[in-house]
Amino acid sequence: MPQLTLVQAINTALAQEMERDSRVVILGEDVGPNGGVFRVTEGLQARFGKDRVVDTPLDESGIMGSAIGLAIGGMRPIPEIQFEGFLGPAYDQLVNHAGRMRTRTRSAITVPMTVRVPVGGGIHAPELHSDSPEAIYTHSPGIKVVMPSTPYDAKGLLLSAIRDPDPVIFFEPKRVYRSFREEVPDEDYTIPIGEAKVVSEGDDITVVTWGGPVFQCLGALDNLPEDVSVELIDLRSIYPLDIETIVESVKKTGRCVVVHEAPKTAGMGAEISALIQENCFLHLEAPVQRCAGFDTIMPYYKLELEYLPETPRIQKAIEECLAY
């Protein structure tokens, strides 16, 4: 079984699905001969031709809007937005059109497309290349939002996303792109959208996270005393959210820390905390703790690790929640 990075796993999934389904087309900035700025689409244009892997004009709204048209016209477009910060210009098309088309036409017209977007900080990138806007799109009805953190999950989730009859944003944590390899089967397999993964089982406290911070959380777990037993949940899908897995875990542990890179206020941590108090209030031994980015502009990279929930801060959050 091949050992792949996240980048390679996504590339493999794209190639396999393009092979399987002639309706799949990739469009975006620099996705052709250059293979995308992160090389996620490397080699795909040479293999599938310029009609199916298309370098577009530099216009995110144009990419999103024409991808919507491609989907309406019977294709399965996979638009790539180069960095999450550039989703801004495409916001209107994505939220007000892709997300609403099925409802406003009572399912007569649908938009099956997968929007691939590198996301998050920690790679010393320039301004507007390090944000985590997943909550914005989760708050926008009609769009599914996923963010795998491992190569194995990335392949399975991407295949589910492409085959989904509705629009899916597939966030790819940049920090994980090449950080490690793992075994990724050659064969076709899917991971259902909406299913979280229990990374490590434990009884004392639940840690809920997704994307890049999964690995900062694992670092924090390593630093905790050996007798502390932590259940770490990687959501993988942000919308729909696997409430059951979270609730089941918190009912067992009575304590929960939610970790995410996005700003704290009105972030997914707020939603998850609310769901926990709605569903297992009387099981709680401590308030749900949020360990998130601050409510500031994501700083330039000299200070990005001060902003991001890094291992020491996560460790502190877990210790505080346990001590309550």
From candidates 102, 129, 175, 260, binder to another protein by CB under 8 A = 102
Q: What CA–CA distance (Å, rounded) separates 296 from 303?
A: 12
Residue 201 burial by CB count (10 A; 0-12/13-18/19+): exposed, middle or buried? Answer: exposed
Which region among 13-21, 67-75, 119-127, 218-226 touches another protein (by CB under 8 A)?
A: 67-75
Q: What CA–CA distance (Å, rounded) separates 67 from 25?
A: 9
Q: DSSP class of residue 181?
A: -
Q: Select which of 129, 139, 260, 283 is catalytic.
A: 129
> Does residue 65 bind another protein (CB under 8 A)?
yes
> Does residue 140 bind another protein (CB under 8 A)?
no
Which region among 11-19, 53-61, 119-127, 213-221 touches another protein (by CB under 8 A)?
A: 53-61
Q: DSSP class of residue 287?
A: P
From candidates 2, 33, 69, 126, binder to another protein by CB under 8 A = 69
> Does residue 47 bind another protein (CB under 8 A)?
no
Return the bridge partners of 258, or none.
208, 290
Q: Which of residues 199-228 bind another protein (CB under 8 A)?
A: none
Residue 129 annotated in active site: yes
Report, in Å, the least distance between residue 93 CB and another protein: 7
> Does residue 286 bind another protein (CB under 8 A)?
no
Q: Which of residues 152-191 bind another protein (CB under 8 A)?
A: 164-166
> Does residue 281 bind another protein (CB under 8 A)?
yes
> Does residue 142 bind another protein (CB under 8 A)?
yes
> Does residue 106 bind another protein (CB under 8 A)?
yes
Specify whether the CB–CB gap between 67 and 77 falls below 8 A. Answer: yes
**DSSP calls for 46-112:** HHH-TTTEEEPPS-HHHHHHHHHHHHHTT-EEEEE-SSGGGGGGGHIIIIIIITTHHHHTTTSS---
Of 194 and 269, nearer to another protein (C-beta) is 194
Report, in Å, the least distance between residue 301 CB and another protein: 30
Q: How far is CA 88 from the centre of its chain?
A: 17
Q: What CA–CA distance (Å, rounded) separates 211 from 213?
A: 6
From candidates 39, 97, 252, 316, binder to another protein by CB under 8 A = 97
SS3 260: strand
Return the bridge partners of 117, or none.
171
Structure token pair of residue 151: 């190569």
> Does residue 273 bind another protein (CB under 8 A)?
no
CA angle 315, 238, 175 (to 5 degrees): 55
Please identify every residue annotated as catalytic: 129
The residues binding another protein (CB under 8 A) are: 25, 51-52, 54, 56-57, 59, 61-62, 64-75, 77, 89, 92-93, 96-97, 102-110, 141-142, 144, 164-166, 194, 239-241, 243, 278-283
